[in-house]
Amino acid sequence: MSDTPPSTPPSQPSSTAQSAASAAQPDRLPARLLGPAEVRKLAERLGVSPTKKLGQNFVIDPNTIRRIVRAGDVTADDVVVEVGPGLGSLTLGLLDVARRVVAVEIDPTLAAALPDTLAEHAPGIAAGQVEFELVHADALRVTAREVPGPPPTALVANLPYNVAVPVLLHMLERFPSIERTLIMVQAEVADRLAAEPGSRVYGVPSVKARWFADVKRAGSIGRNVFWPAPNVDSGLVRLDRRDAPPTALVERREVFAAVDAAFAQRRKTLRSALSGWAGSAAAAERALVAAGIEPSARGETLTVEEFARLAEQRPKAPEAAETAVPRSGEAS
């Protein structure tokens, strides 16, 4: 396995940039972030061969790591949960700033190696200046009970494209203490998450993410900061937790059922697309009118608040079972 940097090398950190992340904590021993050669050597030593098929791409540019931490507004008061730390590139950047970092890793090889990597590169842990906790678990199933210590206040992660949306929604649901989220995902996924009603890429992920938070694009990341370099660029998405859900009259799952039904047949009018959800097209029309929504509209034009109003008007005993529509709908 070669240690040769990619043909378009990522920028190398200057001494000024190297200490920038620790500026908020002048007495903290700075972490030494991983560069291209170190990432490759570490992967080779562990026998890790990242594959594009599984969405495994390791960040090899320290300046990109610092940019992610800054975009997430991570502070010395934060308890940050990171999903999929991999070799520890982003973890080290977070340890440079946060009060505590909890990393959730499913891969046993990566999970076993991470503490040693951090001990070598983040002296602040041994000095008691920052806390670290490793949770060996599946991020799609992890619960607050499995994460020891104070509740996390922020989620910062480089998410693989194939599970990005399900992991994001699961974490926001299971960890209501998370106030801020900064994720790096495939550019297309970032666009869909941040899309506004009426956009051609507005869909199920756009609506469901907004149940939990205000969502916006926070920048673009070129493919050359990864190893192996993916075929597409990535994007940063920032989510800030809402003060309250869009409705308190029905449960989240009831609103999400309406969202799934509307986008399962997104080319159809809502009167038609929601016929199974409501029990009939006529019942769907009555629910839409009661919610103040035009029956001839399509799901891609509705805000999460409108979907919430619609769910409030669902007939009590629709003919079609709720399980007849996809639960997650992340592909819509």
Tens of pLDDT, residue by residue over 208-266, are: 999 999 999 999 999 999 999 988 999 999 999 999 999 999 999 999 999 999 999 99
- Where residue 315 falls (left for φ over 0; alpha for ψ -120 to 50; beta otherwise) is beta
Q: Are 39 and 225 in contact (CB under 8 A)?
A: no
User: Which tens digit of pLDDT belongs to each residue from 122-149?
Assistant: 999 999 999 999 999 999 999 999 999 9
- Is the pLDDT at 193 greater than 50? The verdict is yes
pLDDT of residue 24: 47
Q: Tell me what pLDDT residue 265 has.
A: 93
More confident residue, 146 or 5: 146
In this predicted structure, the answer to whether residue 16 has a pLDDT above a threshold of 70 is no
Model confidence at 25, pLDDT cuts 50, 70, 90, reads low
Domain boundaries, the chain: 15-241, 252-324
The residue-averaged pLDDT of 30-52 equals 91
By CB neighbour count within 10 A (0-12 exposed, 13-18 middle, 19+ buried), where does 94 fall? buried
- The answer on pLDDT for 299 being more than 70 is yes
Give pLDDT, residue 41.
96
Q: Give domain 252-324's CATH superfamily.
A: rRNA adenine dimethylase, C-terminal domain (1.10.8.100)
Confidence class of residue 52 from pLDDT cuts 50, 70 and 90? low
Per-residue pLDDT, averaged over 159-172, amounts to: 94
Residue 241 forms beta bridges with which residues? 213
Residue 295 has pLDDT above 90, yes or no: yes
What contacts 263, CB < 8 A, 6 or more positions away?
A: 203, 204, 299, 300, 329, 332
Supply the mean pLDDT for the chain. 89
pLDDT band of 50, cuts 50, 70, 90: confident
Quick one: pLDDT at residue 161? 81
The pLDDT value given to residue 20: 38
- Please check whether residue 235 is in contact with residue 219, taking contact to mean a CB–CB distance below 8 angstroms: yes
pTM of the model: 0.86
Nearest to 217 by CA among 191, 241, 243: 191
CATH 3.40.50.150, domain 15-241, yes or no: yes
pLDDT tens digits, residue range 198-208? 999 999 999 99
Across the beta sheet with 234-241, what order do the strands follow? 131-136, 100-105, 79-83, 154-158, 180-186, 234-241, 213-221
pLDDT band per the 50, 70, 90 thresholds, residue 160: confident
For the chain, the first-to-last Cα distance in angstroms comes to 39
Residues in the chain, total:
332
Phi, psi (degrees; rounded to nearest 5) at 134: -105, 130
pLDDT of residue 54: 56
